[in-house]
Structure 1
Amino acid sequence: MDYSIGEFSNLTQISIYTLRYYEKENLIIPNRKQNGRRCYSETDVSWMQFIKRLKDTQMPIKEIQKYAELRALGDSTMNERMEMLIKHRIALKKKIAKSNEHLEKLNDKINYYKGVILL
């Protein structure tokens, strides 16, 4: 199924403005109809969901651009893309561990206050 930019925006929950920016930055390259209008596919939906996930995990836009470039080059870049994702996973695990440490300390402080207030 093909989607117009408006339909694609609604489906992916990404503004038309942002989609045009992503296109300018070569993160997504939609097909064009004969009249020049953008035309997005199910593959584009999956790709945009992946981009959103990378952004949500704080992958820098330059890294996402590099990943997108490699993806556009095809299967011969799979090893390099996998290595990028492995490095990102390591960084993400470190952030999660640090956040869990902060959460533990906050819980300790809350429990302290609960103990003191209830006395």
Structure 2
Amino acid sequence: MLIAEVSKTYDISADTLRYYERVGLIPTVNRRANGIRDYDESDLSWVEFIKCMRAAGIQVEALIEYVALYQQGDETNEARKEILVEQRAQLVKRMEDMTATLKRLDYKIDNYDRIMRGDIGESKCGAESSD
């Protein structure tokens, strides 16, 4: 599959795909005789994996290390697992922080709904109190 097709299929710019390859986020993509990248199923699996991990906020550096270890073979399984466990813990923490922020926003929105309905006066809650 050519880079334009991969770009369209995965909604990732061609420049981003080239960057991913250049920094080692995806292994080197095979090229046709004329030098044009030709993504195979393995390459597409990497693109999908990296897109998923980046969407979750996984650090680029951790993913580069993970891919480099993967390319070294099965003897790096434990190290790769450690990277994933660490990144998972960071993701769980971010989710907890986001959940707390969401609750805070819900409270503030509900408070404004009460003010606009006249259930409470604005002076009782303060325009931007820390709640």
Unaligned runs of 5+ in 1: none
Q: Which has the larger radius of gyration?
A: 2
**Residues in 2 aligned to 1:34 and 1:94: alpha-carbon distance in whole angstroms:** 47
Q: What are the superposed Cα offsets for residues 19-57 of structure 1, whole Å, 9 maximum, x if unpaired?
A: 122221122210122333221111211211110112112
**Alignment correspondent of 2:103:** 104
Q: 1:13 aligns with which of 11, 14, 19?
A: 11
Give TM-score scaled by structure 2 length. 0.80
**Alignment correspondent of 1:62:** 61
The structure showing larger relative contact order (alpha-carbon pairs under 8 Å, at least 6 residues apart) is 1
Point out 4+ residue stretches in structure 1 off by more than 6 angstroms: none
**Alignment correspondent of 2:112:** 113
**Alignment correspondent of 1:23:** 21
Task: Give 1:73's aligned amino acid.
Answer: Q
**Alignment correspondent of 2:74:** 75
User: What's the CA shift for 1:80?
Assistant: 1.2
Q: Identity over aligned residues, as a percent?
A: 36
Task: Give 2:77's aligned amino acid.
Answer: M
**Residues in 1 aligned to 2:14 and 2:101: alpha-carbon distance in whole angstroms:** 37
Contact map agreement 1:12 1:45 (CA 8 A) in 2: no
Aligned-pair Cα RMSD in Å: 1.5
**Residues in 1 aligned to 2:114 and 2:5: alpha-carbon distance in whole angstroms:** 54
Asked if 1:33 is matched to 2:32, the reply is yes
**Alignment correspondent of 1:92:** 91
Question: Aligned residues, how many?
Answer: 117
**Residues in 2 aligned to 1:13 and 1:69: alpha-carbon distance in whole angstroms:** 25
Q: What are the superposed Cα offsets for residues 61-104 of structure 1, whole Å, 9 maximum, x if unpaired?
A: 11111111011112222221111111111111111111111111
